[in-house]
Structure 1
């Protein structure tokens, strides 16, 4: 599955615990990543050397992304809450 255009759910809903380029304290769940282009909802550093490893490991899948941006946001939000350590 290819990433859905104008989505950005994976750049908003999950937390990222480790520091990365532009976000020295990581990212809280629900916080918009500083690298998300809010006009197109696409990552501004995708496929660059600054693209975080955690983001490189994410692959769009129907079970996560669903059939809409709203569904993806809700699924990732639920996963974030239920998998917190």
Structure 2
């Protein structure tokens, strides 16, 4: 996403199974390489992770 990913918008590199198409590739963005999932951010399920990350994006995009 050349101009960055807007809050609440799904990354274009996520496949239907929520895995990244760029995982392990040199073109993977630095922000993705540095992200370390943890329970505080991701919760206990994919649904919780999506909700929490969406909330964090909305709170930090003001």
Give the TM-score range, shorter chain. 0.7 to 0.9
For structure 2, list consecutive stretches of 5 or more residues without a partner in the other structure. Answer: none
Contact between 2:41 and 2:53, CA under 8 Å: does it hold in 1? yes
Q: Does 1:29 align with 2:7?
A: yes
TM-score after normalising by structure 1: 0.64
Runs of 4+ in 1 over 3 A off after TM superposition: none
Aligned length: 62
**CA shift for structure 1 position 52:** 0.3
Matches within 5 A, 1:55-74: 55-74=32-51
The structure richer in helix per residue is: 2
Cα distance in 2 for partners of 1:69, 1:48 equals: 23
Higher strand share: 1
Alignment partner of 1:42: what SS?
coil
Q: CA deviation at 1:44?
A: 0.7
Cα distance between partner residues in 2 of 1:80 and 1:35: 17
User: How large is the Cα RMSD of the aligned pairs?
Assistant: 1.4
